[in-house]
Amino acid sequence: MDLQLQDQHVLITGGSKGIGLSCALGFLREGARVSLVSRDLQNLQQGLQTLVEAFPQAEGRVSLHAADLKDPASAVAALDAAEKAFGAVDVLVNSAGAARLTLPDDLAPAVWHDAMDAKYFTYIHMIDPVVKRMGQRGRGAIVNVIGHGGKVASPVHMAGGAANAALMLVSAGMAAAYAAKGVRVNAVNPGVTLTERLQESVKADAKLKGIGADVALEHITARLPLGRIATPEEVANTVLFLASAKASYVTGAIVAMDGAVTPMI
């Protein structure tokens, strides 16, 4: 299927690893040019090496921009640099930041603030300038990779879940606010996915229940109706579709990707 992404400029935050990097590979295979934004330049360079090894045609079609997205000025500087390299951003994929998993008794005001800084504001600081520029041009697509923790309260993910829930509201609200200006905004909520983040989740779950990490992973997998953990590539496939012209009438959607572990409407 031709997703009509040839030569489009895709900016991906959190693009140096995990779901963000898998999205980058998918867009490159569709012929897009990709700007990767992450805090650490070394991670970005390693990510680029991974992309080129998997898809040699990526050479020359990827720009790297190190930025701390907790700082709005740093986010705008990265956006400006990306647009200088590859032109106006056609697609924004937000996959940066993750709130630290915290046991209930360890929650404190600072933890709640840190969670919003780590997950909510890292998205908002890029969404705000990008959606406005897209609106002025009359076109664009934004896909926010958020997480099912904003739908279902977890004892070890309350602060991060609150940030996720806020991002879902922003996604739906921005979709309505900018639809008439030609900008689509959607969100994807991955559940358990084979990334480095999974290791942290397993450790937190094991500590909460007083069991070993291997046993905790077995319990997590056993709860999945599909019988297996999702891969980053599977999440990326959904992101690519939502960003593409094939989803031209899809906006304001919050797509669950937890493998039906939480049956809800």
179-234 pLDDT, tens digit per residue, is 999 999 999 999 888 777 667 666 766 676 788 877 777 777 888 888 888 899 99
115 closest CA partner among 164, 185, 171, 44: 164
Residues recorded for the chain: 265
Determine, yes or no, domain membership for 88: yes
Q: What is the pLDDT of residue 195?
A: 79
Helices (H), 15-121: 18-29, 41-54, 72-86, 109-115
Under-70 pLDDT residues of the chain: 197-198, 200-202, 204-206, 208
Q: What is the pLDDT of residue 191?
A: 86
Q: What is the pLDDT of residue 112?
A: 95
Q: What is the pLDDT of residue 244?
A: 98
Kindly report the number of other CB atoms within 10 A of residue 256's CB atom.
18
| Interatomic CA distance for residues 128 and 111, integer angstroms | 24
Q: What is the pLDDT of residue 229?
A: 86
pTM above 0.75, yes or no: yes
Structural domains counted in the chain: 1
Determine, yes or no, domain membership for 140: yes
Determine, yes or no, domain membership for 67: yes
Determine, yes or no, domain membership for 1: no
| Sign of CA pseudo-dihedral 51, 56, 60, 61 | negative
CATH number at residue 164: 3.40.50.720
Determine, yes or no, domain membership for 215: no
Residue type, 171: S
Contact in structure between 205 and 220 (CB atoms under 8 Å): yes
Helices (H), the chain: 18-29, 41-54, 72-86, 109-115, 122-137, 158-178, 196-209, 213-222, 232-243
Domain that holds residue 137: 9-194+230-257
Q: What is the pLDDT of residue 156?
A: 85
| CA distances (Å), origin 210, targets 149, 156, 171, 214, 221 | 22, 14, 37, 12, 18
Determine, yes or no, domain membership for 166: yes
Determine, yes or no, domain membership for 135: yes
Q: What is the pLDDT of residue 80?
A: 98
Determine, yes or no, domain membership for 3: no
